[in-house]
Chains A and B, each alone.
Chain A
Amino acid sequence: MKKSCLLLLVLFVLQLTMPTGGHAIPAFARKHGFNCNMCHTAYPKLNDFGQRFRDNGYQIPGQEGREKSVFDTPPPIAVRTSTGLSGYNTKNVTTSGFDMLGLDLLAAGVMHKNISFLFIYTPRMDEPSADYTGSQGGTNPSQLGALESGNVVFSNVIQDALNVRVGRFEPAYHAISSKRSFYLTEPYEIYSFSTPENNFVFDDNQIGVEATGQWRCGFKYGLGVVNGTGASPDNNRYKDVYLNVSQTMGAGDGQSAGQRIGAFVYYGWQPLSISGATLSPTGEADGGPNEPFYRFGGHASLNWKTLNLQGSYVKGVDDNSLNVLAPTEDYEFDGGLAELDYAGLMNNRLIASALYNWICTPSYDRDREVKAYSGVLRYYFGDWTAVNVALHAEYTHRETGETDPLKENIYALVVDFAF
């Protein structure tokens, strides 16, 4: 028991020190001279205008071709980081420390009319010197961080109805973006969950091609073909596909106005083994045999004044060949999140949020069930263009397992800033 607690603690600390990957791109605010609230309810969460700006390839709708390009503006570089005190305690362990919870180096902009790019690099924060051994089980000592996003967007290939994003990107099935979550220490648990023999993680950015579009009636879609591993190179020759559709009722995009509902499905393949697999010159493996899995679910975002209630339900099924715990049956799980956000004070200076996460696992894997209750208070200082500083307080009570739940308390008091 102590060992498992220690393991969980180590995993938790590792998770804390992983970059949060939150998006807030002051380079756009700097370019336009806008206050951050132009695009964000409060950074990093997008409002309806920001969502349309993003959907339109980082161009103000109607200004396509008139936007200054990255060649006409100061270097479109931005930084976001959060640092402060975080703590953790469970039955036997209490820790606390000053941490940097993440660092994003962002570059984004319009290269040409309807052609834009986004680049996010997240260097490691857990060591003072560059001895991090990388994400591939410590086999890549040269990797000092992660390229979270690097993509090119071809917008308005068909006006509003077809935009194409190529590269590594946050896939459209993230209807509720974990990258723009107010939470710094508590992830959307169902997004982060991975099954025993399947390294697909719903939360990962993916590499591939994605088409998105929308119509004036409020219908939106996102359709993509990706590696499925979130990594480069790929581990098999099979590609994963996904589709997300949503419908917004009323004005807005359902971010901060209007009511939005949607559904998504993801169908992928994972190789049982890549050990001994043949590699291409660029590193792709012909791993196999490839076994299927899928995820599907729904999401909703409801708005009333400055209150936003959003939630997502995810059901996951892995083929039984991917289930080492019960090889005769498919591994089935489900879970979701429900988040209530309130924006208060002048220009949304104050954010209060409550989040509930849950994951239900099969009877033979009950130790991985999760229930987590979280709350956030954020206060934003100043009204400076393209500079944002927020004082952030966060608390999570997390229970893992069923028979003898591990009860954890996690808190953080940090300064979250972007410029």
Chain B
Amino acid sequence: MKRIHVFLAVVILFVPLLVLAADNSPQPLTGVEVHSLGPQKLGNLPQVSVPADNPQTGMKIMLGKQLYFDTRLSKDNTISCATCHDPLAGWADKGPTSEGIGSQRGGRRAPPVSNAAYLPLQFWDGRAPSLEEQAKGPIQNPVEMGNTHEQMLRTVGDIPGYVEEFKNVFGTTPVTIDQVAQAIAAFERTVITTDSPFDRLVKGDDTALTPLEKQGLEIFNGKAHCTACHWGGHFTDGRFHNLGVTQSGPLKVDDGRSEITKNPKDTRAFKTPTVRDAALRPPYMHTGGEKTLTDVVNFYNKGGGTRDAYLDRIMVPLGLTDQEVSALVAFMTRAMTSLNPEVAAVTPIPASVLPK
């Protein structure tokens, strides 16, 4: 009899525990598939997955590339995708935050387009669930391209070459915003940076990294805790973290991911950027507040920035010595920089074609 009581007491205690333990964390946005990446080892980039409704074709990729570099998508013909996602700046911005139409300063710096195809959510706050959705945003952002979709489509529709290309690629006219977005996204899915010294090391070239860079890799994956978030082939978990970055730039307050999810736990959380080619795109953080990679490492070394109530619990001081900081920076500077042979950084739009 007493054993039955004990058994019942145990059941009564643990069933609620099981239920509570299972269901008390925030759920992803409804209707948005967040890839279940799971912690993965560092490695080479996998094959890019292509959505079934936007298959890759050579003509579409070329059309997307033209659009990507075309300033005529903006209201005053001054801003293209490449203006802020500049191949010569690691497919990001020279920063610190991006400058849009009419020299307006944006609140965040443009995240890199390179390897963005691997991310489940786009933008620093993850508000776009695909590259296609992301491509539509800046066109009509008043601070970025300052255009409207309708006006941009009229502009593109008035260019015979584009009309012909769209007809060849999609088989229909007139040009739609979805077609523009699909073409740009198709191109962006080819912007994959590979063949860094790290990639060669993974493929078996033990001489690809210098001894200092190898030490940096060891620290990256150990004492510095970088791989807690910067993991997998893309060196990012694609998720959102509050590092305590001090807000700067035009925005006085930027609550990041929580503006989208409305979940207080996401307050001031921003997407983990990839470490690939990081050396090509200073300054760092969503504000561009850290000028160099050394500054970034020192930022983490002291446990992050402002210790607000939502600071990510993975943020702890690292205890890195100056030599360890140097090794880590050496690894990120050269060993993570791709030769990127697949992507031509040259604009496919002749300057003579573009309006002055």
| A89 beta carbon closer than 8 Å to chain B | no
| A252 beta carbon closer than 8 Å to chain B | yes
Contact (Cβ within 8 A) B313 A61: yes
A156 to B38, CA, bound (A): 19
Contact (Cβ within 8 A) A157 B22: no
Q: Map CB proximity to B onto A11-49 as digits: 1 under 8 Å, 0 otherwise.
A: 000000000000000000001111111100000000111
A385 to B217, CA, bound (A): 11
Report the minimal beta-carbon distance from A247 to chain B, rounded to whole angstroms. Answer: 15
| B39 beta carbon closer than 8 Å to chain A | yes
Contact (Cβ within 8 A) B228 A156: no
| B12 beta carbon closer than 8 Å to chain A | no
B-contacting residues, A92-115, CB 8 Å: 112-115
Q: Total interface residues on B, using CB and 8 Å?
A: 48
| A347 beta carbon closer than 8 Å to chain B | yes
Contact (Cβ within 8 A) B39 A68: yes
Give every chain A residue within 8 A of B319 (Cβ-Cβ): 47, 256-257, 303, 305-306, 343
A390 to B178, CA, bound (A): 59
Contact partner of A60 among B39, B41, B303, B323, CB < 8 A? B39
Report the minimal beta-carbon distance from B301 to chain A, rounded to whole angstroms. Answer: 10
Contact partner of B324 among A157, A160, A347, CB < 8 A? A347
Contact (Cβ within 8 A) A306 B316: no
Contact partner of A67 among B39, B219, B323, CB < 8 A? B39
| B271 beta carbon closer than 8 Å to chain A | no
A65 to B27, CA, bound (A): 10
Q: Total interface residues on A, using CB and 8 Å?
A: 52
| B227 beta carbon closer than 8 Å to chain A | yes
Give every chain B residue within 8 A of A385 (Cβ-Cβ): 41, 221
With A38-B222, A216-B309, A257-B319 already in contact, the answer to whether A33 and B40 are too (CB < 8 A) is yes
With A49-B316, A253-B316 already in contact, the answer to whether A32 and B39 are too (CB < 8 A) is yes
Contact (Cβ within 8 A) B302 A62: no
Q: Map CB proximity to A onto B292-336 as digits: 1 under 8 Å, 0 otherwise.
A: 000000000011100101011111111101011001000000000
Give every chain B residue within 8 A of A216 (Cβ-Cβ): 309, 311
Q: Map CB proximity to B onto A214-254 as digits: 1 under 8 Å, 0 otherwise.
A: 00100000000000000000000000000000000001110
Contact (Cβ within 8 A) B227 A34: yes
Report the minimal beta-carbon distance from A160 to chain B, rounded to whole angstroms. Answer: 8
Contact (Cβ within 8 A) B222 A257: no
| A383 beta carbon closer than 8 Å to chain B | yes
Report the minimal beta-carbon distance from B14 to chain A, rounded to whole angstroms. Answer: 8
Contact (Cβ within 8 A) B223 A61: no
A38 to B225, CA, bound (A): 5
With A35-B218, A154-B17 already in contact, the answer to whether A348 and B37 are too (CB < 8 A) is no
